[in-house]
Structure 1
């Protein structure tokens, strides 16, 4: 799987911004290849619906047929890239692009919320070290746009470095790491 897919076409971002498609892509990225039928069962959809949406994701380069099919009767799909990125400024040039970017931001917030809620429900099953380590923090800092870009790059590099460091540790878990930086004016709270 390639590292990142940089979307420049608002139609491609709009295609992946569909609520079911973004979930299908997320499942293929996090859980590996699957059939339309397996994904349909996971999301309570019909296999016809998931099959259609997988073909749409393939049309824009987000997924492809998995080269390692278990048998000739099934059609397994896999994510092509680990991440999707885009330029907010570039896509802000059209109403379609602005709408897709706004949807993707809301979707990221939904994922953050659902992940936090799932951890809260199941925290006892993770043990005291994870209960202590898991959490959130926030800061208000005066930064330039260039410094915010540097912040994202450094956090991403650090996550990859720590993932490599921990790859053989027995107590690893998949961890959701969110970084969000937006300018604010006035009181935030």
Structure 2
């Protein structure tokens, strides 16, 4: 997985309009679906590390990636070309200078239920998923460690919360669709670049982690803890 992905296509509509039937639509965030060949190409440890770094900083050169990851520029240049070949990165037109290419990550979908049908894919798929989880936990931990020294207004604007409910499949699907609509609305407000205006001196890269899934192998707790929310309110953390 990456920090730029969505589940399967869902129907969306504007607030206040009646629901529309589910139908295939372009992904909200993701650029492409990851097939088995792309997944295997992506599963290289250095490629996953480079991709994670690109999502952190927005775009980077082979030289800066090499310096950050303590690799040779030759290595990072080669692996960037492989990531480009599989549609996972592309040149950043806003940063190119003509002397050195800047690269930015492209979002993807990873349909684990489809890829997992082939036993040969399982180990590779687990490597990709676990690397995503590792990077996620590392990012959250780094923020929590830094939070005491962060500007108060940025901490207050951050959210870390966990809510557990008992829902039907349709209720869960509706919740997921509405959450994705909110994310897409804010992404569109940033314009094609996905960035705050260059003249905004207070802009920072922020990350949203959103997980919505049914609990596995849980005991029957119908009616227990419905609506329970744990975790801090604003200021406890952010994606």
TM-score, reference length from structure 1: 0.76
Is contact 1:7-1:86 (8 Å) kept?
yes
Q: Which runs of 5+ in 1 are unaligned?
A: none
1:20 paired with 2:52, answer no
Q: Which runs of 5+ in 2 are unaligned?
A: 1-26, 220-239
Return the offset for 1:12.
Answer: 0.4
Return the offset for 1:94.
Answer: 1.3
Q: Between Structure 1 and Structure 2, whose CA radius of gyration is higher?
A: 2
CA distance in 2, matches of 1:19, 1:38: 18
Judged with a 3 Å threshold, the aligned counterparts in structure 2 of structure 1 residues 104 and 132 are, in CA distance, closer, same or farther, namely same
Judged with a 3 Å threshold, the aligned counterparts in structure 2 of structure 1 residues 124 and 57 are, in CA distance, closer, same or farther, namely same
CA distance in 2, matches of 1:91, 1:63: 21
CA distance in 2, matches of 1:66, 1:134: 28
The one of 172, 175, 181 equivalent to 1:157 is: 181
CA distance in 2, matches of 1:98, 1:131: 39
Deviates more, 1:60-69 or 1:118-127: 60-69
> For residues 8-34 of structure 1, what are the alpha-carbon distances to aligned partners after superposition, in whole Å with 9 as ceiling and x for unaligned?
421201222322212322333443443
The one of 97, 100, 107 equivalent to 1:70 is: 97
Deviates more, 1:175-184 or 1:126-135: 126-135
TM-score, reference length from structure 2: 0.63
Is contact 1:6-1:84 (8 Å) kept?
yes
> For residues 134-153 of structure 1, what are the alpha-carbon distances to aligned partners after superposition, in whole Å with 9 as ceiling and x for unaligned?
34222222334454443333
| C-alpha RMSD over aligned residues | 3.2
Q: Which residue of 2 aligns with 1:51?
A: 77
The one of 203, 206, 215 equivalent to 1:183 is: 215
Higher helix share: 1
Count of aligned positions: 184
CA distance in 2, matches of 1:127, 1:51: 36
1:173 paired with 2:204, answer yes
Deviates more, 1:110-119 or 1:142-151: 142-151
The one of 98, 102, 105 equivalent to 2:122 is: 98
